[in-house]
Structure 1
Amino acid sequence: MESISIDEILHITRGELLQGKRSMAITNVAIDSRKIKNNDLYVPIIGETNNGHDYISQAFLNGSKVCLTEEKNRSFPAAMAVIYVTSTLAAMKALAGFNRQRYKIPVIAITGSSGKTTTKDLVAAVLSQKYHTLKTEGNFNNEYGIPQTLFNLTADHQLAVIEMGMDHPGEISKSIQLVEPDISVITNVGLSHIERLKTQENIYQAKKEILETLTSEGIAYVNGDDEFLKKIKTEQTSFQVRTFGLQGDHTVKALNYTSSQAGLQINVKWANRNGDFTFKYPGKHNVYNCLVAIGLGYFYEMTHSEIQKGLDAFVPSGNRMDIFTIGQIKVINDSYNANPDAMRASLDVLGTLGNGYQRKIAVLGDMLEMGEYGPAAHLEVGSYAKDKADILIGVGKLGRLICQGYENAGLVYQVSDALSAGACLKEIVRPQDIILIKASRGIGLERVIDFIKEGGR
């Protein structure tokens, strides 16, 4: 981020300088006092369990010389410039929006019930082959993280790819005004967070918030095979609608594909172009992810070779479809999060990659925030695993329903938590096994990997 002066901060946030010199300036913004760098503006956020104002002195010691506050009756380091605002969160958003508007570059926003992070990483990997591209890192896809991503924009960037998460109505709306995307992508509408949103229609409406700021020149780029998203094409909109998919008439379409241990081979049609692409990760769900990246690559005038190099350069984010070997054991660590669609997709990958291994083991845990849909969804996942796994380890309270749905199609173990799952695996794992690890983040199933290392020796 290019520097912003105290005067500019005061103007943008409508703040009041409580102490310090107007001649000072900042070169970045941080909300974590432990990650402060010199010349960072510290923004203390008041959360459910922590009040960032308690760490202002620590931020100063770590290098911050300027901070915001919405609490006047505090003692501040004497050498620190302090700006009072009515809401530190609102002020941070205003500053992020200001930084976004400094740079007139194309911005792509991405959301969806499944695959949004993989799609974001794929799109960024492709576009980076031709353009200096900023992308959302880690889980900075919420009301607090999106502004921090926008602060990383500089004059060197030519494109930005911003991921937008959602777990309640209105969440995307809170940030979309800052992002102001030129293209908004929705990967699909599933059952994630249905406990809070109650129906898939409500999830659909919440995802559509990503389209709110699109102008007549803006593009909604949506999954045309999705039963909900295909409706957007028939709705009266002020923006353009483009679709991707496998069935029907789409802007970018997979005419055919094969999924094997070697990954994907996809024949893609975009406008008057037709090309064959490869991707090292198998699964039908990855066809959709690739279509977004390929379509946007073509849209931004990239060559077939550049797009393919981007697909080859893709690296999954932590605990998402991380495929590796421990001794003679293959591990598919997809433990970052889970919903029914993602569970089925991961089981498909296990089924495909498992053909060259002695036994296919699925370690599947609770899918959280499913509400009244939870029991049926877990039973269905268990049933789907019948043809994909030789051994099932069900983890957690709802994991028992996965076991029940599996109906003893193979060996079944039911355990209470991740550590118990690890202990179970350590006892049964053998060379030439392939293991899938999948559950909601709250189950902490990635801890199973250490037990696999011990059992695989």
Structure 2
Amino acid sequence: MESITIDEILEITRGELLQGKTDLEITGVAIDSRIVRPGDLYIPIVGENNNGHVFIVKACENGGLVTLTQERHEAFPADMTVIFVTSTLEAMKTLAAFHRHRYEVSVIAITGSSGKTTTKDLVAAVLSQKYNTLKTQGNFNNEYGIPQTLFHLNPEHEIAVIEMGMDHTGDITKSIHEVDPEIGVITNIGLAHIETLKTQENIFLAKKEILQTLGNENIALVNGDDPFLVKLRDEAHNFKVKTFGIHGKHNLKVLDYDSHSRGLNMTVNWEGQQESYVFNYPGEHNLYNCMVAIWLGHYYHMTQMEIQKGLTAFVPSQNRMNIFYVGEMKVINDSYNANPDAMKGALDVLSTMKTDYKRSIAILGDMLEMGDHGPAAHFKTGEYARTRADVLIGVGPLGAEICRGYGSEAGLVYHVADAAAAGQCIASIMTTGDIILIKASRGMGLEKTIDYIKGEK
């Protein structure tokens, strides 16, 4: 991060100097006192469970000599420069917007009910073959994490790929002005967050917030096969709308594809140009993720060979389609999160990969935040699992509905209370030649079953 002076911080945040030197410069920003380094500005965030102001002394001990504060008290270290602001969170976002706009970097913002993290990683993998690319790390996709990503921008970066999550209406609006994208991508409109937002129409409106800062030369790149997103194509906007899809007419269309145990082969048409690509992960849902990366690769003047190199280089984020082997068993760890569309996609991958194995086992847990839609959605997931898995382990209260939808007549089915019980169950039934899928919402902690599969529990 290029340095920012104390005077600039005071001006940008409209802050008040409470104590300390003004002839300093900060070269980084941290909201976690444990990772503060010399030269960092510490920003204490007041959250639901923690108040970062408690750790100002710790931040100083770790070398942070500048801090913001929204609390006027006298417990500051004597050798620390302290700047008072009305809200440390808003000050952080304002600083992030200032830092983002120091550069002529192209910014791509990505959201969607499912697939946004995989799409972000794929886009970054492709674009980094030609450009110095910054991407969102981990789950830093909210109003606390997005500024921390933007602070990592430096003069060498040419493109930034920013993931934007949301739980409520207005969440994306809180961060979109600091991101200020050139291209806004929406992968799909599903049932994630239906408990809070009540309808898919409301989810659509909340996701559409990612487009609100786009201007005449900017682009909304959306899934044209999605019944909500395709409506954008026929509406009047002050930005351009481009679509990708399998069905109908699109700017990037998959003409033909083959999903097999080793991945995907696809033929696409991009603005009248036909090309072929391969991807190392199967499943129709991955076609849509790849289409975003392919379209953006072409938009940024990359060759087919460069784009293919990026698709090949893609590595999933932790606990997302992480495929590994335990002896002669294959395990698909996709336990990071879940919603009905993601469940279906993961089960398709399991079914496709099963061709090389004797038996497929699905460990499926609760999809959280589904509200009144929960029981029916879990039952339908069970029905779908019946066509894709030989054995089902349903985990959690709503896992019972998955089991009910699966039906005992379809094969072996087990219902267990939690991740530990699921681990004990899979350890007792797994055998050489099995392929195992692990999928649930993050709060279920199903990654714990891996220790049982590996024999480490």
TM-score (norm 2): 0.99
Matching residue's letter, 2:431: R
Aligned to 2:173: 173
Instruction: Map 1:372-411; keep pairs closer than 5 Å.
Output: 372-408=372-408, 409-411=410-412
Aligned to 2:283: 283
Matching residue's letter, 2:58: Q
Aligned to 1:161: 161
Instruction: Map 1:262-277; keep pairs closer than 5 Å.
Output: 262-277=262-277
Matching residue's letter, 2:309: K
Instruction: Map 1:115-154; keep pairs closer than 5 Å.
Output: 115-154=115-154
Report Cα offsets for 1:104-145 as digits up to 9, x if no partner.
111000000000000000000000000000000000000100
**SS of the residue 1:123 aligns to:** helix
Matching residue's letter, 1:369: E
Matching residue's letter, 2:290: C
Report Cα offsets for 1:343-367 as digits up to 9, x if no partner.
0000000000011111100000000
Residue 74 of structure 1 deviates from its aligned partner by 3.6
Aligned to 2:451: 450
Whole-Å separation in 2 of the counterparts to 1:189 and 1:287: 16
Contact 1:220 1:242 in 2 (8 A): yes
Matching residue's letter, 1:444: G
Aligned to 1:308: 308
Aligned to 2:222: 222
Aligned to 1:421: 422
Whole-Å separation in 2 of the counterparts to 1:455 and 1:400: 27
**SS of the residue 2:114 aligns to:** coil
Report Cα offsets for 1:365-424 as digits up to 9, x if no partner.
000000000000000000001111111000000000000000121101110000000001
- CA 1:89–1:455 in 2, change beyond 3 Å: closer, same or farther? closer
Residue 262 of structure 1 deviates from its aligned partner by 1.4
**SS of the residue 1:435 aligns to:** strand
Q: Does 1:255 align with 2:248?
A: no
Report Cα offsets for 1:318-365 as digits up to 9, x if no partner.
000111101111000000000000000000000000111111000000
Whole-Å separation in 2 of the counterparts to 1:74 and 1:220: 49
Residue 36 of structure 1 deviates from its aligned partner by 0.8
Matching residue's letter, 1:412: V
Whole-Å separation in 1 of the counterparts to 2:398 and 2:388: 20
**SS of the residue 1:454 aligns to:** coil
Whole-Å separation in 1 of the counterparts to 2:85 and 2:163: 28
**SS of the residue 1:337 aligns to:** coil
Matching residue's letter, 1:284: E
Instruction: Map 1:32-47; keep pairs closer than 5 Å.
Output: 32-47=32-47
Matching residue's letter, 1:225: D
Alignment root-mean-square deviation, CA? 0.9
Whole-Å separation in 1 of the counterparts to 2:295 and 2:411: 41
Residue 152 of structure 1 deviates from its aligned partner by 0.3
Aligned to 1:31: 31
Which consecutive unaligned segments of at least 5 residues does structure 2 have? none
Whole-Å separation in 1 of the counterparts to 2:332 and 2:93: 38
Instruction: Map 1:183-262; keep pairs closer than 5 Å.
Output: 183-262=183-262
Residue 455 of structure 1 deviates from its aligned partner by 8.4
Contact 1:68 1:83 in 2 (8 A): yes
Aligned positions, number: 456
Matching residue's letter, 2:442: R
Contact 1:429 1:455 in 2 (8 A): no
Whole-Å separation in 1 of the counterparts to 2:28 and 2:245: 40
Whole-Å separation in 2 of the counterparts to 1:272 and 1:364: 41
Whole-Å separation in 2 of the counterparts to 1:260 and 1:455: 32
Whole-Å separation in 2 of the counterparts to 1:106 and 1:44: 30
Report Cα offsets for 1:153-207 as digits up to 9, x if no partner.
0000000000000110000000000000000000000000100000000000000
Report Cα offsets for 1:199-240 as digits up to 9, x if no partner.
000000000000000001110000000000000011111100
- Report % sequence identity: 64
Matching residue's letter, 1:283: G
Contact 1:382 1:402 in 2 (8 A): yes
**SS of the residue 2:172 aligns to:** helix
Whole-Å separation in 2 of the counterparts to 1:14 and 1:216: 32
Where does structure 1 differ by over 2 angstroms across 4 or more consecutive aligned residues?
none
Whole-Å separation in 1 of the counterparts to 2:57 and 2:294: 48
Contact 1:20 1:82 in 2 (8 A): yes
Report Cα offsets for 1:221-261 as digits up to 9, x if no partner.
00000000000011111100000000111011111110001
Whole-Å separation in 2 of the counterparts to 1:309 and 1:160: 19
